[in-house]
Amino acid sequence: MQASLNTYLADRQQLINQFMKNYLEKQDIPERLKASILYSINAGGKRLRPILMMASCEAFGGKPEDVLHTAAGLEMVHTYSLIHDDLPAMDDDDLRRGLPTNHREFDEATAILAGDSLLTMSFQLIAEDEQLPAEKRLYLVEQLSKVSGASGMVAGQMLDMESESKSIPIDDLKRIHHLKTGRLLSFAILSGAYVAGASEERLASLEKTADLLGVLFQIQDDILDVDGDEEKIGKPVGSDETNEKSTYPKLLGMDGAVREKTEYVKEAKQSLSEADVDDTMLSALIDHLSNRDH
Ligand code: GRG
C-alpha cells in the first residue's frame, strides 16, 4: 500500500502543479508580483488539500481532472494564508518550508499583494470552471468563502492571536484549530465528493470524517512541533519556558496526544466506511496525514 500511496501522491502532485503552472502563466500579472506568487506556489508545499479533494472525488466516482480548478483554488487560499501568517504583523517568520518567507525574499508590500492575488484568484478559478454548471460553481465559491473568511480560517487566526502566550482550555484549542486548519481540509473532502455528484445523505455522513481529519492533522502538527523543538533546544515536552502557547502535547502530555490522535483516526475511518464508497485511498490518506513527518 505504501508504494501505491507514494505513486498516487506523486501523480496527483504533478497534476495539480502542472495545472497551476499553466494557469498562472496565462495571467497578465506585473513581473515582480508574478515572481512573488510563483515563489510561494513553487516552494515545496505537499499539496495535501488538492490531493484529498481529488481522492474524495475519485471515491465518489469522479476523475481527478474534474476538480482541478477547485483544488488549485483551495491550494491558493492555503498559500495566501501561509504568506500572510508569516508577515511581521502576524508571526514574523523568516523561514517557511526551509526557504526565506515571501516578505523576506521580496518585501512586505509585495508579499501582502501576492497573498491578496492568490486569495482572489481562487474564486476566479472556480468561476471559470467550464466543466461545472453555474449553480455548482456558485455553491463552491460560497463554501470556499465561508471556510476561508471571517467565520472560518480568518476567524481561527484571530482567535489564535488572542490566545497567544496564555494557556487555554482544550475545547477552545479545538475550536481554534477547527476554524484555522480544519475547515479548509473539510472543504477539500466535501467539495471533491460534491463535484462527483454525491447525494446529500452521503455528503452528510462524510462531514464527520472531514471534521475529524482537521483535528488529527492538527494534533500531528503539534506533535511534530514538539519533536522539532526538542531537536532544536534539547529540552523535553513542557519545559519550553518562553512559549506558553497551548498545544495538545502540553495539555494532554505526549502519550495523551498520541492516544487522542489514534482514537480520531479510528473514528474518521469508521465514519468514512459509513459513506459506503471505495474508501481505500482516502483511508490511506488519513493514515498518511496522521503520521506525516513534516
Ligand atoms: C493569515 C488569514 C490568515 C490565516 C493563517 C492556516 C493559517 C492561518 C496559518 C498557518 C500556520 C500554521 C503553521 C498552521 C498549522 C497547520 C498548517 C496549516 C500547516 C501547514 O500545512 P501543510 O503541512 O503545509 O499542508 P504545506 O507546506 O505542505 O503546504
Res 230: pLDDT: 57
Res 140: pLDDT: 98
Least confident span in 51-65, 143-157, 189-203, 241-255: 241-255
For 77-114, how does the pLDDT look when each residue is reduced to its tens digit (9 = 90+)? 999 999 999 999 999 999 999 999 999 999 999 999 99
Beta-bridge partners for 194: none
Q: Whose CA is nearest to atom 16 of ligand 1?
A: 181
What is the value of ipTM here, to two decimals? Answer: 0.93
Q: Is 46 in the pocket of ligand 1 (CB under 6 A)?
A: yes
Q: What is the rounded average pLDDT for all residues in the chain?
A: 92
Reported pTM = 0.93
The pLDDT of 121-135, averaged and rounded, is 98
The boundaries of the domain holding residue 171 are 2-291
Closest approach atom of ligand 1 to CA 218: 16
Reading the block at residue 294, the C-alpha cell is: 513534516
Beta-bridge partners for 95: 100
Pocket test for ligand 1, best of 82, 159, 223 (most atoms within 8 A of CB): 82
CATH number at residue 219: 1.10.600.10
pLDDT above 90: residue 69 = yes
Q: Is 75 in the pocket of ligand 1 (CB under 6 A)?
A: no
Q: Which of 19, 52, 29 is nearest to 284 (CA)?
A: 52
Q: Whose CA is nearest to atom 26 of ligand 1?
A: 45
Q: Is 45 in the pocket of ligand 1 (CB under 6 A)?
A: yes
Question: Structurally, how many domains does the chain consist of?
Answer: 1
pLDDT band at 166 (very low <50, low <70, confident <90, very high): confident
Q: Is 81 in the pocket of ligand 1 (CB under 6 A)?
A: yes
Q: Which of 10, 113, 123 is nearest to 72 (CA)?
A: 123
Q: Which of 93, 88, 79, 78 is nearest to 108 (CA)?
A: 88
Res 12: pLDDT: 98
Q: Is 116 in the pocket of ligand 1 (CB under 6 A)?
A: no
Of residues 16 and 242, more confidently modeled = 16
Q: Which residue has the cell 534539547?
A: 234
Res 205: pLDDT: 86
Res 95: pLDDT: 97
